Amino acid sequence: MRTLICLSYLSLFLCSCLPENSLPDESTDDLSNIDIELKEFFIAFENAAVTRGVEMDLSEFELTGSIEEIHQENVAGICHYNSNLPNRITIDKSFWKNSSKMLKEMVVFHELGHCVLARGHREAENQNGHCLSIMRSGTGTCTTLYNANNRKYYLDELFFYEE
């Protein structure tokens, strides 16, 4: 027993003394090409999918994500599908600085809807003029009421709507 305890302490000591460059790099993970401020929303998207029984591993999409100025009027985010920049999401810097966490989530999820779920825009609205999807283009007249009370509805629609 004493030998086992000594071996345990010895292995702990040896492991803690490994050169720094031999330890795993904590900054390298499956979403290493995603801006640190966006990463929590990408993880939340993946979790929202899994919660709904949709298998989702965003690392399979080789996504990149950044927060930069978008020089188009009234554009909060872009999903690039073209062969030059496949699966690249850009969120507008000015939008990001001035938005609530819930609005940021909605826009990131919208762009992931394009890049990951291959969703197009959906302009449908109810009789009160409220958008039925966060996948609306923003060119219509409906209002999206994405908040804690109806987040579940919008996420169910995002992952389960079939065009």
CATH of the domain at 103: 3.30.2010
The answer to whether residue 67 sits within a structural domain is yes
DSSP string, 87-120: TEEEEEHHHHHT--HHHHHHHHHHHHHHHTT---
Phi, psi of 136 (to 5 degrees): -70, 155
Higher pLDDT, 140 or 99: 99
Kindly state the tokens that stand for 35. 């801006």
The total of structural domains in the chain comes to 1
Average pLDDT over residues 127-142: 93
Q: Is the pLDDT of residue 19 over 60?
A: no
Predicted confidence at residue 29, as pLDDT, reads 52
The answer to whether residue 25 sits within a structural domain is no
The answer to whether residue 146 sits within a structural domain is yes
Average pLDDT over residues 8-22: 30
Average pLDDT over residues 122-131: 95
Q: What is the mean pLDDT of the chain?
A: 82
Predicted confidence at residue 81, as pLDDT, reads 76
User: Which residue segment(s) compose the domain that 114 sits in?
Assistant: 30-160
Share of the chain above pLDDT 70, in %: 80
Predicted confidence at residue 14, as pLDDT, reads 29
Kindly state the tokens that stand for 96. 């990001």
